Amino acid sequence: MSPRWSFHPDRLDVQERIAGSLALSSLAARLLVNRGIRSVQEASTFLKPSLSLLSDPYRMVHMEAAVERILAALKNRERILVYGDSDVDGVAGTALLAGFLSAAGGEVSTYIPDRLEEGYSLTDKGVGSILERGADVVITVDNGTTAVSQVAGLRARGVDVIVTDHHEPAEELPAATALLNPKVPGCGYPFPHLCGTAVGFQVLSALAARLPARAAAREATHDLLRHCLALVGLATICDCVPLIGENRILARAGLTALQETEHPGLRALLQEAEVPREVQADDVSFRLGPRINAAGRLGDAGEALALLLAKDAERGRELARLLSARNAERQEIEARILGDARRQASALLRQHDPVIVLADDHWHAGVVGIVAARLAAEFNRPAVLIAMGGERGRGSGRSVPGFDLYQALSCCAGHLLAFGGHARAAGVEIERGAFASFKEALLAAARGTSAGAAAREIMIDAEVPLGVLDPSLMSEINRLAPFGEGMPAPVFAAARLTLDGEARLVGKNKNHLSFAVRQSNVRRKAIAYDMGGLAGELRRSSSFSLAFIPRLNLFRGRADVEMEVKDIHLPEAAT
């Protein structure tokens, strides 16, 4: 079904006030208004994000207890173990905390659970490893909020546990030494959408101000905060938290830190992934993030952690090449699973299932989350995919706007061994025999909600003539970046277009369309991903409309605005 085009309503009074006060074009001001900006002051703050606008970390209710315990551990040379997770947020947060605390003189080790063997969060096997290593203090990052029994077990053995996390809390909370999670009731922190690494960064921000004034490591740790920002930006963009408020500040600062980084591992990864000098959010999402994620998805997130902690350039290059190889392997596995899952999902849609729920013995547990995301986007409904292995299965789910996947899974908790996550993404563990009852319970929870009911919608910021798409406009649009979850890239519509030249099939599988369009005397190049099937209709059409994201292409010193097509309205399909 073709997506519906919806246009943001005009708010000309606010738009003109912002444009006039801040010397913006009317179109740039409209983009701000379409993203919820309603005053000149809001617009000014939005366009000039500053780290000084971050909330005081001590507004998290247990921050004082966490800082005091870490300071004591540093002073007394106690053994600190940073316990992370295998995705970008968990790995980056582990590197952030371990690197900073080591630079501050701490005796620090790390542990990341094997996704395939252990699953997520603070596991029983992880607890055993913590005890074997003789850790005095455990700091979790991106996990721990639901690990009630594991935290209790560690505390009973004399191990203090500081939980830093951002996942949804259950009814019962762990009795940790300190629980730092902005989503926990009573936390006190005004911005609830931080990723796990950002929560860790706020801990370090509070800690840095309390390090002994004459400590030899103090200057080094303050210098390290810039590297920390690169890791925070990486995690914030990759973890799909909304890029608004404090996340916008951290993402912008993180992109700048990534551009300027001299860290051997990050520098090598940027070069290996062929990221341009001016790092954009898309580079992080589609080039850096998948390489870091691939290590954990295929079994050993320690490879990615080693890269983010690397101190030697040659070691950094070696690990960057390894992560690229892991990512290529992940892509091959993903393609196989996607083809299989897509066929099964199509059958479920004929049954009008509001949620796609699938399980298979031949799927890879580390890759099903990516495939679930692809299916959710393609079929416009939540998807949960489970890789069965023996009598148990591990899986991942991804949702669509308006459907809280975590809440739906909470209604099915009796059919699951474990689950965790948030509204848009979650992980599950299940016994083979419980799959059928779990599926029925999840479908029941979804019926009567918006899951799978609404037609896919494309929100259009404005209809524009092609002539307004110039480098000057793109410069203004770039001030609104980074774009991502909760802060969509501008989408424009252009009508009465004609094909200028040939529409070519491109890409490895010849599934993309490359063509040029003309409107009066203006010509623009366009690329339409996964729309190769429309080539014939496009060639036969006398005119058509496009919904598109404008992109600035810099080639040999020349700047051209090109169009990334989101949808094509052909005359017979136009409404």
Token pair for residue 38?
């309603």
Q: Is the peptide bond before 482 cis (omega within 30 degrees of 0)?
A: yes
CATH number of the structural domain 53-220: 3.90.1640.30
Degrees (nearest 5) of the Cα angle 497, 503, 505?
A: 140
| Surface-to-core class of residue 310, CB atoms within 10 Å of its CB (0-12 exposed, 13-18 middle, 19+ buried) | buried
Buried b (16+ CB within 10 A) or exposed e, 467-493: ebbeeebbeebeebbbbbbbbebbbbb
Q: State residue 574's pLDDT score.
A: 41
Class at the top of the CATH hierarchy for domain 351-446:
alpha beta
Between strands 457-460 and 4-7, the pairing is parallel
Q: For 438, how many CA atoms within 13 A lie in the half-sphere containing its CB?
A: 26
CA distance 215 to 544: 67
Q: Do domains 53-220 and 351-446 have the same CATH topology?
A: no
pLDDT digits (tens, 9 = 90+) for 58-108: 999 999 999 999 999 999 999 999 999 999 999 999 999 999 999 889 999
User: pLDDT at position 477, please?
Assistant: 94
Question: In the chain, where are the structural domains located?
Answer: 53-220, 351-446, 461-569
What 3-state DSSP class applies to 405? helix
If one counts every other C-beta atom within 10 angstroms of the C-beta of residue 171, the result is 6
Fold that domain 461-569 belongs to in CATH: OB fold (Dihydrolipoamide Acetyltransferase, E2P) (2.40.50)
Q: Which residues contact 445 (CB under 8 A, 6 or more apart)?
A: 408, 411, 412
**Cα angle at 27 between 21 and 29, to 5 degrees?**
35
> What is the DSSP code (8-state) at residue 240?
T
How far apart CA 549 and CA 460 sit, in angstroms, is 10
| Of 109, 107, 99, residue with least CA distance to 73 | 107
**Residue ranges in the chain whose pLDDT is less than 50:** 214-216, 573-575
pLDDT tens for 328-382 read 999 999 999 999 999 999 888 777 889 999 999 999 999 999 999 999 988 889 9
Distance, CA of 321 to CA of 337 (rounded, Å):
25
Question: Cβ(99)–Cβ(309) under 8 Å?
Answer: yes
Q: Cα(first)–Cα(last) distance of the chain, in Å?
A: 13
Predicted TM-score of the model (pTM) = 0.89
- Is 512 in contact with 531 (CB distance < 8 Å)? yes
Q: Give the per-residue pLDDT at 486.
A: 87
- Strand segments, DSSP code E, in 381-424 are 383-389, 392-398, 418-421
